[in-house]
Structure 1
Amino acid sequence: MKIFGIPIFPEQASTFAADVDALYFFVLATCAFFAIGVAVAVIYFGIRYHKKHDGEIGARIEGSLPLELLWSVIPTIIAMVMFGWGASVFYHLRRPPAEAMHIYAVGKQWMWKFQHLEGQREINELHIPAGRPIKVTISSEDVLHSLFFPAFRTKMDAIPGRYTELWFEAQTPGEYHIFCTEYCGTNHSGMIGTVKVLEPAQYQAWLQGGSMEGTLAQRGAKLFNDLACSTCHLDTGQGRGPSLKDILGKTVDLQDGSSAIVDEGYLRESILNSQAKIVKGFQPLMPTFQGLISEENLVALIEHLKSLSPNATTAAAPATGAAAATPQPAAAAVEKK
């Protein structure tokens, strides 16, 4: 966006960028109108009614109920308009469509690492198709970061030990900036990247390059076996840990008498802190894997566990729960024995 040829705002490159800008300019214009009005009134009354000679006493003013009601009701109405409009935009920003393409992002000093479900992995670069909703599940491998796509008018913090998410739908092919907007250390300003929005056919051609390691879920399956998770978590449920087959989205009973819904947050916590929630009927035998695997491998393990529940309605639901701050193995992902 340019004013008199000078770039003021990033271009509007997502479906809701115009909505965010409209709300922003409305709030800005409203605040500017009242700020200027108050300033002009202060200056005018200061000049018009200034003290002209010593001993002068101003006229007594009793007040005006209609005027007081007016300056109370009008700001209230304007505030409610801002609230309603803002809530509507926020609701849209925070509810990704069910058909959104899923990508994982990991923040690390000082880079952004992206993983596609098809297996492609990128650093400080993200390829996506135009005209398709994209959901990004975000985590951090070290400190607090914040993933910001200026042209798409969306950002979200990357918090150690938990998942957050954002979504957008890019409309126009091209290249757009990625920034970290949370100070994260000495090279914070260098934590930048590029989104490359491609035509759908071009994106499919890019995907053909493929990953030699298979899909994200396939990588997770290999890790699941390498970490010996499959020796405890048997599909029959007769192992030392609970069966993970078709478990996503279900409610499990815990030894302390409480229950928990199995989502990405639960899986993450079970991998990183296996003693936090122990499934009823199992012993706390699973070791803690915190710090033993990278955040990217943790994501792969969780994606594999999700693939074991193909009919789960919450398969793509982001985890908002806490997990230990550093990534860990997933073998026992839900073991919580």
Structure 2
Amino acid sequence: MNAIFALPEASTQAVRVDGILAALVIVSALTLALVFGLLVSFAIRYRRGSKAKRGRLPEIVNREFEVGWTAATFFLFAFLFWWAASADVGALTAPANALEVHVLAKQWMWKTQHANGAREIDELHVPVGRPVRLVMTSQDVIHSFFVPAFRIKQDVLPGRNTETWFQATKLGVFHLLCAEYCGTNHSAMRGRITVMREEDYARWLSAQPEGDDLAHVGAKLFVSQGCSGCHASSSAVHAPKLEGLYGRTVQLSDGRQVRADDAYIRDSMLQPKRDIVAGFDPIMPSFAGLLDDGDIQSLTAFIRSLGQEHGHD
């Protein structure tokens, strides 16, 4: 049997995707069988020379049949659309207790970093039964993070962050592929995800070389890049304070409101004059060309570590 039809269901997302696919295949097969069955039976019954009775059905029968068939198909396909769309929307937001892993794609490798600073290349170790949130960006061109056994695929774009999440349900090693043509060695951009028991994952994580986590790296960049001169709590410069910024609703000078998420923070570093915070002058310089994607991830993690608020200004 071709391996594509024997992929394991190794995540909660895989179960949902396979269920939707099975339902679509069954509905399509039944519809096809009904249409072709009617076509063949009518072709035989009403062939030239047959004595089958011909004539129009009563108008009320025609009308009721047409209305019933149209309504039935509409509600069936509306249900299928809602079912599939809800699964896709659910895949956009990771649970609050998810492990956060940062992924940096580049020609032609996957670089991953865990919350404690542990780094991997073309590999990712995760615990079974626990949701994992992936925050991803690309250093060069468009890539696509694809794990067939988990039924997840998410484009990884230069200049912005994208996210996806999964919860592994089976132990083992699973292929990680790039599903977007990204250059001459696209086919060699492969990796693997190792799903481990919780206690084995904890031992593996503690055995990794010590290194600063993203927030600590970001704190050093915050000072070395001069950000603390304006944004530190002790600064005399009239600039937005960052404590409690992440997750908060920010009022802009043009009347709009935006949520201070990863994308907003990234844009504020690279295009600071696009979204000016109400009450502040547009004096911040752009850091485009001065910060790479890894630096932006680290600075974002540092700002997030300063606290989150879920209310409004």
The answer (yes or no) to whether the contact 1:213–1:219 under 8 Å persists in 2 is no
CA positional deviation for 1:91: 4.0
1:101-250 alignment runs, 5 A limit: 101-236=99-234, 238-239=236-237, 241-250=239-248
Bigger shift: 44-53 or 210-219?
A: 44-53
SS in 1 for 2:231: coil
CA positional deviation for 1:36: 2.9
CA positional deviation for 1:98: 0.7
The answer (yes or no) to whether the contact 1:234–1:242 under 8 Å persists in 2 is no
- Of the three residues 293, 296, 307, the one matched with 1:295 is 293
TM-score (norm 1): 0.81
- Are residue 273 (structure 1) and residue 268 (structure 2) matched? no
Q: Deviations over 1:154-197 (max 9, x none)?
A: 22222333222111111222101112222333332222211011
Counterpart code for 2:189: M
Percentage of matched positions with identical amino acids: 37
CA positional deviation for 1:275: 1.7
Superposed structure 1 runs of 4+ greater than 4 Å apart: none
Counterpart code for 1:151: A
Q: Which runs of 5+ in 2 are unaligned?
A: none
Q: Deviations over 1:196-240 (max 9, x none)?
A: 111112211221234443111111111111212112222035225
SS in 1 for 2:163: strand
Would the alpha carbon gap of residues 70 and 262 (structure 1) be closer, same or farther in structure 2, given more than 3 Å must change? closer
Counterpart code for 1:200: E
What's the counterpart of residue 16 of structure 1? 13
CA positional deviation for 1:25: 0.4
Paired with 1:59 and 1:257, the residues of 2 have a C-alpha distance of 70
SS in 2 for 1:242: coil
SS in 2 for 1:79: helix
Would the alpha carbon gap of residues 160 and 282 (structure 1) be closer, same or farther in structure 2, given more than 3 Å must change? same
Paired with 1:241 and 1:267, the residues of 2 have a C-alpha distance of 14
- Are residue 61 (structure 1) and residue 59 (structure 2) matched? no
- Are residue 284 (structure 1) and residue 278 (structure 2) matched? no
What's the counterpart of residue 36 of structure 1? 33
Paired with 1:74 and 1:108, the residues of 2 have a C-alpha distance of 49
RMSD between superposed Cα atoms in Å = 2.6
1:300-311 alignment runs, 5 A limit: 300-309=298-307, 311=308
Counterpart code for 1:243: K
The answer (yes or no) to whether the contact 2:99–2:131 under 8 Å persists in 1 is yes
What's the counterpart of residue 95 of structure 1? 93
Bigger shift: 278-287 or 291-300?
A: 278-287
| Number of corresponding residues | 307
The answer (yes or no) to whether the contact 2:229–2:235 under 8 Å persists in 1 is no
Would the alpha carbon gap of residues 73 and 178 (structure 1) be closer, same or farther in structure 2, given more than 3 Å must change? same
Q: Deviations over 1:76-103 (max 9, x none)?
A: 2321331332244334323321111111
The answer (yes or no) to whether the contact 1:254–1:279 under 8 Å persists in 2 is yes
CA positional deviation for 1:293: 2.5
Would the alpha carbon gap of residues 36 and 137 (structure 1) be closer, same or farther in structure 2, given more than 3 Å must change? same
